Chain A
């Protein structure tokens, strides 16, 4: 998509010096367990028209740094150092001056567009609020003028019919359009700098590609500088000119994007980059020409599977899964990939008896799930393991890890307490956790450790089938890499069949022998992983793969040029 070229305010008067200059920034938060230094010592600058990415895993202090730029830290924070935007130090200015800086000199794009827009006001009103908060040439902007400028801003970000849409409420836009509206609001006063905090994390990969293109166009055509906060190395490779890597509140490394990806200097950066899944590398089905494990028994068989959620108050229901056919055999890893709302999770849950099948047939271990009864299905449950997406939420906070992992054993086998304890210890060790962790409570473990424990629980009864629903999407990349590796090793060791559900093509490709692509409830394509990723047949799969940014700026630039037509940008 191209951005309409409007007449821009003259920017030639601006100094050539940095738009943003952070020097010796330190931020400390008060928490229940004492003070926490979120940012220890950060210095960086952003030049006009530059995209600077700040990358890091959770707890690196990247978001806190972003909020500091706009003076949006909560009252529990104390800060020192300087953050200079166009001659104003936002650490020390008065609140009134800060208010003038916000929106005029620097604006922000948020992670979650659906919460960053006020649900009870029209988008036009919300954009106009920012415009009217700043006086132009000494007098207050009229409501009419502000509205006109809101329409202009919406047009700039590619919202069709901006004159009409300006009166829409946020819920009338799709997720990607909402993010465009948030960007329009940030652009309303033509600030020289935009801080984008994980601007595409909440979005599907195809929408992400559009938003990244929009941000790139803004930079190219209006010379807007962008501070891009992200954990996604693909996004960095796609958009950033220069990269600052943060780790536990400190800047670890700073380099141009190409240099950083090509020859990282610091160990941390090297490890981080090595952990990022790269589509086409490490494929589990590399060189495979025939579907694997077809000699074994078929464990799951879906024939014209349909799952509908009932509509409220007699409205038609929502068809989450529509006429899907597939099989999953012993020892096979089936990767199910799709964007949000594609029905991938619904299928996984239906196999585990958590969702009702409403049409067609779904046979799990020989049991017909259409009209299933919990009582008759229960004996089969010991052969099915399930790993949930959020490791924090999938453990009862009141029970110890040992008690949680032991639960399947206690329910299905009358083992003695000593025997149970021994087996729990062995299970924990098989997922590379010390057996002493059995006595700990879930909150005492890190995310990666919890997900290992979750895997241990799923494997407690040595199941024939394992369903993993986005098991690594709540984890940092470096942790994700370790969990994926563990998953791969254990699958080979235990030999269970697995349904691996993920939105991340690269992750699915790393683990799965056979891959199915879901789109709006339909299984549009299935095949050997490396074939699907390398030579997609269906248009949607092609678009999906083209949208996925690879963590390599040079390769990504080529891909982008290649896929321009396909993505319609």
Chain B
């Protein structure tokens, strides 16, 4: 879990726009430099994951050791090239990654890229749903808490934020299921869709893989309703977790900017408190907020693993646990690398957005 509370002085990201924005630098240069910083991040994670996986042994022994006669096993290991020096394998693996080849899973012999494409869209859909919940809940409540600082509403909202954070997503999921599915019977217990909708969705030509988008495009309202009913509980469980973090983040940063001289300057010109909050204080606060939100994407992906398992949502996280249990490390490695890329790219995009908001970087 990424920290709920940003500890003072622990500003995220190796490069923040402000620190690198010397006068006359310009946005273009910043973007280029920031873009190239993605590469070491991904490289380090790939390396880390590769060697950690290999510490356990070669993938074939891990997955099938004990189930095959030793000579067959040895033959398979040799065929797959896992008996060569580890550095050779590492170099080869990097080469394959560079060409987009993630290998083939050991347990169900699928190309890893296919697997990623299939399950990745499900995780993407879950993340988008949850992000919508998190933003819709976290930002307005955070602004209210900052405005009503140290008053009753603030205390209630802060306790709500901490509660959101303190509740593991599998427990909130369990409670939601208990109340809305088992007791009230309003919403389905688990899964991404009912079986019938699932078949309809797969029958579509050129699907995007995002079910509600596909349902909208094909105008299938019944399917859309089914998809929405299934999406509600996972989105709330994962979304509230992140909403707590967003609330806290918005509150702290807006309180920080509300204490700045320029707010008092605005006040001294007669600008209303509401406008000071929603414009004068919010926009400068947005820069650090957005940067930290980028890091929360990592929290969400971690949460997605738990959410998907809780709700049997067949996405990358759910699949990751299956492959881990089957000790299929080629598949695991593929998923982890993809997640690393997503995290690195998201952080890049977020930094770019923050830079675009900040005029000190733009000029």
Instruction: Tell me if chains A and B make direct contact, with any CB pair below 8 A.
Output: yes
A102 CA to B280 CA, complexed, in Å:
17
Q: Tell whether, in the assembled complex, residue B261 and residue A110 are in contact, meaning their CB atoms are under 8 Å apart.
A: yes
Min CB–CB distance A555 → chain B (angstroms): 34
Query: Chain B contact residues: over half helix, strand or loop, or mixed?
Result: helix
Closest-by-CB residue of B relative to A112 is: B261
A100 CA to B260 CA, complexed, in Å:
22
Kindly list chain A residues whose C-beta atoms are within 8 Å of the C-beta of B279. Answer: 129
Which listed residue, A107, A118, A171, touches B262 by the CB 8 Å rule? A118
A404 CA to B23 CA, complexed, in Å:
40
Kindly list chain A residues whose C-beta atoms are within 8 Å of the C-beta of B22. Answer: 311-312, 315
Is A72 interfacial (CB 8 A cutoff)? yes
Kindly list chain B residues whose C-beta atoms are within 8 Å of the C-beta of A95. Answer: 273
Q: Tell whether, in the assembled complex, residue A169 and residue B267 are in contact, meaning their CB atoms are under 8 Å apart.
A: no
Number of A-B contacts (CB under 8 A): 102
Kindly list chain B residues whose C-beta atoms are within 8 Å of the C-beta of A103. Answer: 268-270
With contacts A121-B283, A133-B275, A311-B22 known, is A115 near B269, CB below 8 A?
Answer: no
Binds A, one of B65-73, B81-89, B354-362: B354-362
Kindly list chain B residues whose C-beta atoms are within 8 Å of the C-beta of A70. Answer: 267-268
Count chain B residues whose beta carbon lies closer than 8 angstroms to a beta carbon of A: 31
Q: Tell whether, in the assembled complex, residue A116 and residue B358 are in contact, meaning their CB atoms are under 8 Å apart.
A: no
Is A397 interfacial (CB 8 A cutoff)? no
**Chain A, 89-127, CB within 8 A of any chain B CB:** 95, 99-104, 107-108, 110, 112, 115-122, 126
**Chain B, 262-296, CB within 8 A of any chain A CB:** 262, 264-273, 275, 279-280, 283-284, 287
Is A172 interfacial (CB 8 A cutoff)? yes
Is A364 interfacial (CB 8 A cutoff)? no
A1 CA to B363 CA, complexed, in Å:
29
Min CB–CB distance A102 → chain B (angstroms): 4
Min CB–CB distance A19 → chain B (angstroms): 16
Count chain A residues whose beta carbon lies closer than 8 angstroms to a beta carbon of B: 38
Kindly list chain B residues whose C-beta atoms are within 8 Å of the C-beta of A108. Answer: 265, 268
Closest-by-CB residue of B relative to A132 is: B271
Kindly list chain B residues whose C-beta atoms are within 8 Å of the C-beta of A185. Answer: 265, 269
A188 CA to B360 CA, complexed, in Å:
25
Is B25 interfacial (CB 8 A cutoff)? yes
Q: Tell whether, in the assembled complex, residue A115 and residue B262 are in contact, meaning their CB atoms are under 8 Å apart.
A: yes
Min CB–CB distance B265 → chain A (angstroms): 4
**Chain B, 320-363, CB within 8 A of any chain A CB:** 357-360, 363
Min CB–CB distance B47 → chain A (angstroms): 25
Q: Tell whether, in the assembled complex, residue B20 and residue A313 are in contact, meaning their CB atoms are under 8 Å apart.
A: yes
Is A182 interfacial (CB 8 A cutoff)? yes
A313 CA to B358 CA, complexed, in Å:
20
Which listed residue, A102, A118, A186, touches B284 by the CB 8 Å rule? A118
Is A520 interfacial (CB 8 A cutoff)? no
Q: Tell whether, in the assembled complex, residue B269 and residue A188 are in contact, meaning their CB atoms are under 8 Å apart.
A: yes
Is B76 interfacial (CB 8 A cutoff)? no
Identify the interface centre among A116, A120, A189: most chain B CB within 10 Å of its CB: A120
Min CB–CB distance A87 → chain B (angstroms): 17
Kindly list chain B residues whose C-beta atoms are within 8 Å of the C-beta of A102. Answer: 267-270
Which listed residue, A112, A130, A172, touches B270 by the CB 8 Å rule? A130
A118 CA to B258 CA, complexed, in Å:
11
With contacts A104-B270, A115-B260 known, is A182 near B363, CB below 8 A?
Answer: no
Kindly list chain B residues whose C-beta atoms are within 8 Å of the C-beta of A99. Answer: 270-272
Q: Tell whether, in the assembled complex, residue B262 and residue A312 are in contact, meaning their CB atoms are under 8 Å apart.
A: no
Kindly list chain A residues whose C-beta atoms are within 8 Å of the C-beta of B78. Answer: none
Is B29 interfacial (CB 8 A cutoff)? yes
With contacts A133-B275, A171-B359, A315-B22 known, is A120 near B284, CB below 8 A?
Answer: yes
Contact with B along A130-154 (1 / 0, CB 8 A): 1001100000000000000000000
Kindly list chain B residues whose C-beta atoms are within 8 Å of the C-beta of A171. Answer: 23, 359-360, 363
Min CB–CB distance A356 → chain B (angstroms): 19
Min CB–CB distance A199 → chain B (angstroms): 13
Min CB–CB distance B104 → chain A (angstroms): 42
**Chain A, 218-262, CB within 8 A of any chain B CB:** none
Q: Tell whether, in the assembled complex, residue A119 and residue B359 are in contact, meaning their CB atoms are under 8 Å apart.
A: yes
Is B216 interfacial (CB 8 A cutoff)? no
Q: Tell whether, in the assembled complex, residue B283 and residue A120 are in contact, meaning their CB atoms are under 8 Å apart.
A: yes
Q: Tell whether, in the assembled complex, residue A110 and residue B269 are in contact, meaning their CB atoms are under 8 Å apart.
A: no
Q: Tell whether, in the assembled complex, residue A169 and residue B261 are in contact, meaning their CB atoms are under 8 Å apart.
A: no
Which listed residue, B25, B269, B271, B272, touches A107 by the CB 8 Å rule? B269
A108 CA to B265 CA, complexed, in Å:
7
Q: Tell whether, in the assembled complex, residue B268 and residue A119 are in contact, meaning their CB atoms are under 8 Å apart.
A: no
A72 CA to B363 CA, complexed, in Å:
34
Is B52 interfacial (CB 8 A cutoff)? no
Q: Tell whether, in the assembled complex, residue B359 and residue A72 are in contact, meaning their CB atoms are under 8 Å apart.
A: no
A313 CA to B284 CA, complexed, in Å:
26
Kindly list chain A residues whose C-beta atoms are within 8 Å of the C-beta of B24. Answer: 315
With contacts A119-B284, A120-B287, A169-B360 known, is A126 near B29, CB below 8 A?
Answer: no
Q: Tell whether, in the assembled complex, residue A126 and residue B266 are in contact, meaning their CB atoms are under 8 Å apart.
A: yes
Q: Tell whether, in the assembled complex, residue A133 and residue B268 are in contact, meaning their CB atoms are under 8 Å apart.
A: no
Which listed residue, A118, A120, A311, touches B266 by the CB 8 Å rule? A118
Min CB–CB distance A539 → chain B (angstroms): 27
7 pairs from A and B in contact (CB 8 Å cutoff): A99-B271, A102-B269, A102-B270, A118-B266, A119-B359, A171-B359, A182-B265
What are the nearest 7 A-B pairs in CB distance? A130-B269, A103-B270, A115-B261, A103-B269, A108-B268, A102-B270, A169-B359
Known A116-B265, A130-B271; further 9 A-B contacts with Cβ < 8 A:
A102-B267, A108-B265, A118-B283, A122-B359, A129-B280, A130-B270, A171-B359, A185-B269, A315-B24
